[in-house]
Structure 1
Amino acid sequence: MAVIVLSAYFVVTSTSVFSLGDSEIVSCGVVDAPGYYYLSSNITNVTGTCIIISSDDVIIDGKGRWISGESGTGVYATGGKSNITVRNLTISGLNNGVVFVNVTGGAIERVNITGCNESGIHLSGDGILVTDSTVSSAERGIVFHANHSRAENNTLSNNTVGFVVAGSWNTVTENRITFNDIGLQIREGSGNTIADNLIANNKMYDVFIPFSSGPSVCDNTVENNTGSGGRIIGFFNTSIRMANLIFSELILCGVSGAYIENVTVAGSDGNNNGILILHSTGVSLDSVNSSHNYLGVSLVSSSGVTVSGSTLTGNVIGVAMYASTHNTLTGNEIAENENGVNIHNSTQNVLQGNVISSNDIGIHLESEGAAQSEDNTIFDNLLNNTENFLQSGEGQNSWNLSAIPGTNIVGGHFIGGNFWATPEGTGFSQECKDRDGDSICDSPYTLNDDNIDYLPLAPVTPAPAPTSPTVPPSTPNVQNTPTPQPLQTQTPPRTGPTFTHTTPTPTPSQDPTSVPEFPGFSLPVVLLMIALAIGLRER
């Protein structure tokens, strides 16, 4: 029995060595010579690495048979080899299916891999083709650490991550990547083309860029991919203006200057996708709707982003900030999410005028390592959640401005801090005293030692609606009401006497606009006399 140590991660126990001329494989072993090799029977109960390729110019043909077990690797090509092909093989239940390490040239064709708790297909090297293969129920379906390689017409489903791009200048096209936790992840690398794939109905994201990835991940082409709901996945890495569009997912990566207005992002019915903004500056989102997704809006290593007048409801997280500074959230509805606003290692952001309600957690501040979520300014928001505030780690933030005149978020006439409510009606602002009626609670609201709202908003008591006096209706006496007669008037001759009208001086209680009284004359006659007198005097 030979024990071969391939690397720190692969320890192989092998009982056979297949050399040139030994084309039939009946058990696990090492292929150390060029040639065509095929499985003549199934290989089961594998616990180590089964087939090791240590030669150039090797073809392994499974002939439709399988390799199965509880651990180990199905086929492993050691470093520095070239022109390696694995085809027509089923692998199940192992840690890894097919692994190429620094292989140049070759192919993986018509391979079916299931149940691997690490990677179905894991490649590093250059110029490798993966086609017509299926990977399911693995931790990672296909991993491309390779460069200048191509994945085409593969089906990846029910994996934790369907496809991982971690190399450069690769092409991923016409694949079906569905029902994974994450469909396709761009972890690192640049110059890749990801086009014309179906990447849909994945649990969290159809396409995802990890928050820890550097800005080089933005230098890739992601286009014409169909996401959840049959809608396009939008990926932009240059300045752009857009309005009145609908996406399955929207990713802005490495953008300097963008204006997005009245855009809707809607993933699957299972709350996936959202808006991802990474390594970007000067982005404005106005009146967007990102609801019932995994994340409403996520800011990663970005600054100068404004999200205003938008609807971010029914997501796992309404707004997430990760290592981001100088961003503004204003006038948004952030409601019915598991977490309304999550601020992770982010500083000097402003939250103003938002309705943050009906979330499990309203605002969650997270600090990890040396970085902290601190120096953020959070004021004039309405918070009404199961738990309005949660802090993990440390960090001091400002929760109010100095009181300034103006209409606040609940209609009061001073702007200061925030309105703190609970669904049960027992929030600090709902119960606080406001003896001077300035719309500010008489005492501060202490969240913890480093986070105090010194000017929490008080509830506004609506003024009572005006009431009209009740006038009892009058009942006319029909029998005593005289029949109206037409008014008989006569125009005086132009040469007649002049009628002089003098307006009496009103007393302080008299209405100066009232008509003077002339005893014995009815009101219409008096008005006619006055008009005639004025007309004659003017002649």
Structure 2
Amino acid sequence: MNKNYKITFFMLLMVTMLAVNTVYADTAINGPYTINTPGKYYLTNNISHDTGDIIKITSNDVILDGKGFTIDGQESADRAILVYKVSTEYKNITIKNFNIQNCTAEGIYLYRCNDSIIFNNTAQDCAIGIRVQGVNNTVLNNTMYDNWNGMVLWYVNDSILKYNEIYDSSGVGLYTLQAINCSIFNNSIYSNNNQNGVYLESSTNNILYNNIFNNSNNLDTYMGLNYLNTTKENGGGNYWFTPTGTGWSEYNSTDNNGDGFCDNPYVVKADLVDYLPKCIDTTGPIMTIVSPANKSIFTKNYIIVNITAVDASGIDKIESEFYGYNHTMTEYPTYYSIGYGSLLDGNYSLKFYAFDNLGHRSVKKLWVVINTKAPEITINTPINNKVYNTSDIFINATATDAIGIKEVMANINGTNITMNINNSYYTLSKNLADDKYSLKVYAEDNVGNKSVTDEITFSVDTTAPTFTVHSPANKSIFNKNSFKVNVTAVDKHGIDKIVSELDGSNTTLSDHTKYYNTTYDNVLDKNYSLKLYTFDNMGNRAVKKLWVVIDTKAPNVTLNTPISNKIYNTSDIFINATVNDTNGIKEVMANINGTNTTMNINNSYYTVSKNLADDKYSLKVYAEDNVGNKNVTDEITFSVDTTAPEIITVKPTAGSTVGIATNVQVTVNEKSTVNISITKGTNKLKYDLIKDPNNENLHSKLISNLEAGTYTLKVTATDLYKNSYTNEYTFIVDETKPVMEIARPTNNSIFNETIIPINATVTDTYGIKEVLANIKSTIVDKNITLLKDGNNYLGNTDALTEGNYNITIHATNNLGNINNTQPNEVIVDLTKPVIINENPNRTVVNAGFTINATVTDNVEVKNVTVQLNGENISLRNVSGNIYSTSAINSLSSGNYTYIITAYDTARNYVKTKVINFTLDSTAPKVTLNSPIGLQNKANITINATVTDSTGIKSVMAELNGENNTLTLTDGYYIVNKTLMDNNYALKIYAIDNVDNKAVTPVSVFKVDTKAPYITINSPNGTLKTDKFLINVSSYEGLVTSGIKEVIANINNENITLTKTGDYYLVEKTLNDGTYLLNVTSIDNANNSNSTSTTFTIDTYVPSSSNDNRRRTIDASDSIESKSLRRTVSDSTVVYGSNFDKQLANNLKENTYSDDTEIDGDTIILGGPVSNRIANQYNDRFTIPVTNDNPGTNRGIIQVISIPSGSSSIVQSYKLIYIAGSDRLGTEAALKYFETLTELPDEPITVEWVDGGFKVIE
């Protein structure tokens, strides 16, 4: 074994060991991706891409989960998901939960895959929704619509297609080519109306059953024998519908036996027959109630119902409805059953609902009767224990039963007698002698249930007893509340008892052998009916009724006149009383001062008239009723007084002169009421004088507001007994009043002293008798006599406390006329204002501060000022008792003092002490420490240094619009955040303790924790040249910091790759051998990712028989350039038509048809119509070839590079495209190609002319 093969073997062994010992974690995919390693992969977002195959799988044992996300090919990408590598088979691939759309080729393509599953995907708007190639694959629960072909089974063996939905295809819903031994069942294939629902080409031994077809042409085949049904037990055949409603399963098809299958097979074509086509089931099951029979009667309280049912679509269930509740019946192999127990007697209606598997329903109704009870019997008459005083006894019974009565009999003292029905009763009439009898009634219903009543007894006795009432006598009257009843009685059968009934209450009399008695006590006064019932031992009864009266109450006596304590001014006194009693009045007498006088009835009253002298009298009235009950009224007193009072003195005296107010005084000789009238002209005034509290005979009244003039005074005195005396006088009124004014204090004056001087001017023509100053407040009400000083009257208030006062002047002239001033209101305020809550006070403030304080006064604050920095500033009232300056912005930072002064309206004032404060207008200093720039970890600490002389109140970080509070930790303000990869904008806000605020400029940083994606495109496999290109693709995810560098390591040599376009490239020359290439990509956040591959350089060319040092070149000798000949030799030549094959064989010995796959540099010969590879890549070339372009007899030579699609090794392959709009164009291009010395950089157009060619510029 040479050295190179040993190295190769060792590397393969290492790769195998790594594969065996690797545990694969789930891998997230968020963009185009190549899966080259076994494991689980899943989408994290929708993918939209417009070129190539979006996700490519080149590995076994892959589970790819779309998680419900969408892959959109944008009508340009080839495929959403491709499992493919040339000449390679894969297995155990699962593709699930994708939504795929807008692909120019397949949505999902499994190329040469075995034992794989495509599950729960949706494919739309693709050339082919899903294409599968391989063995033992399963396509399950997918939906394919709006595709050219919904699904293609391409060279498929032993696979399953089930529970899929394929519709609205432009071509064929399901197309198979060389599908063998496949099972296609439980699918819905419909609305594929342009070509076929299903087309089986060169496919054999496949079975299609239990599918639903509804297409214009449901099924067609070309070559091959297939089957359209399984056994009836396993589901039979298919449903055959058409959009026009003429399908075999729905039009003119019969199912006479109800098994769900059409009676006739459906012949699609001669060798394609569905022998068990399914019919539409439109009716409910056929149901038979086996037991019980309808309207059955049961003598037990339970029933069991058995039912059989058949239906074409099968029986889903049978439900029973009973009393509004539904129960599912138990299913047995051949029937359904349900039991009902503990049923009460009655008629029952049961409903049974049978449902088939399509939801159709049939109904049966069943009536049954439950009767487990014997007849119910009630003896209505005779009544148990009753004694009848007639010999005609009527026996009446009620007998009922749900199903009817057969016989009813009465058993009287052991003898049975049949009773007859009478309306709704059973009756029997018997004539019985006086005696005691027993009775039972028997009944039997129509089903033999029997019952008997309890035995009752009754008696016949037709003779009543005789009895005598000895006391009380009828209509007796008792003046006490008790009386006795005494009775004797006889009867031939003996006396059972005697009962007395009084006032609704019964009492059994005591039996004393020869007589019966009872005593009634505590009987209320009333007229009573007393009934006595005497019963013999047979129950016969005799009755007597008596009347008795109880009257224990004395007469009611009311003295109407005279009235108690009243004094009468007449000597004729009329005495009147009301007296009544239920049993009548015998006598009424009046007792006056101890002397009785008989009173006579007068209508409904008792009266007597007496002439009495002036004196005081006592009076009582006595009454006695006709049964001796007596009563007397309470004693009253009254007086007789017929003498009028005497008027002794009157003031004002006759002819005297008084002022407008005069005090009228009258003296009388006895206790009296005195009223007066004062008359001037037609004006008359009346007054009641007031008795003097110290002299009951003196009466007076101050009369005010009299007008000037002469008055007549009339005085009337009335004593307590309404005796009165009247006298008249005249007097004169002069109305002149003093004139006055308060000179001091003035109204609404405020004083900060306790003694207030008073000065008033007062004048009057009759002279001033007195001047008073009234000082009044809530706690003071005093008069001060003012002293005369000319026309002025002077005084002072004496010492007053703080408060509000009214000062009023009262002046009286010598006639007694009084005048008053309006009160002047004054305030005594001795309290200084109070200043509290000065602010700022030994604190630090910032610019725009205010000086404020709470200032209060018990009266009113007049003004408030502050002395600050040599300047007096006014404070204004801003709210309630708060006074404040306006915002002060004129001071610079430093230490300051101020004093506040406040005055009230009484000129009291107060000053604060000197108050210190500091002004700080400097904002905090903020330095952002981190994060700065790129961050390659998700856990980010926002760290800032914040300082201020007053201290820091709060620090906030605004991160992408979200506020986060920073906490002081070890001298820094920090907050920890876990961030997703993204771009972030950060500002720091800081507020010091005096609310100065600082804000940092926006700092932008990026979080990038994802390592770059990296793919080695080349080298790969075995290279035939020692000079080669390292080609690497490296890119980042959604958030990118950019690729910093890509480094390749070969033989422990690090080589930095240069970015060229979308790739990172470097050219390298190595000797023959097998190499390990490791490539590391590092982004600008220092995230790194590495991948590796092995490749071999083998420039050795085996020697031929003529020259073992020359390499065999497979290229036409007509190619002049050696370089071009090597290129042709190293390339695969692919042709389409036979003509192109002839041209290809002239170019090279070994050529291939277009069913090969590109796996290296390739020469494509022929245009897209005949060459599949040309068709696949035509649009990628600068000038796509069509029948019209480049034109008649013209061809084009053009070259592009493409990456290969293998797993982790992506090489750049050259595609050399030689094709024309027709055969001569292709041949002209090939002829010119053979003359080139190197491959062209730009397309070259060549035209065929006269057996040769020319280049078109």
Q: TM-score normalised to the size of structure 2?
A: 0.19
The structure whose residues are more often strand, as a share, is 2
Q: TM-score normalised to the size of structure 1?
A: 0.42
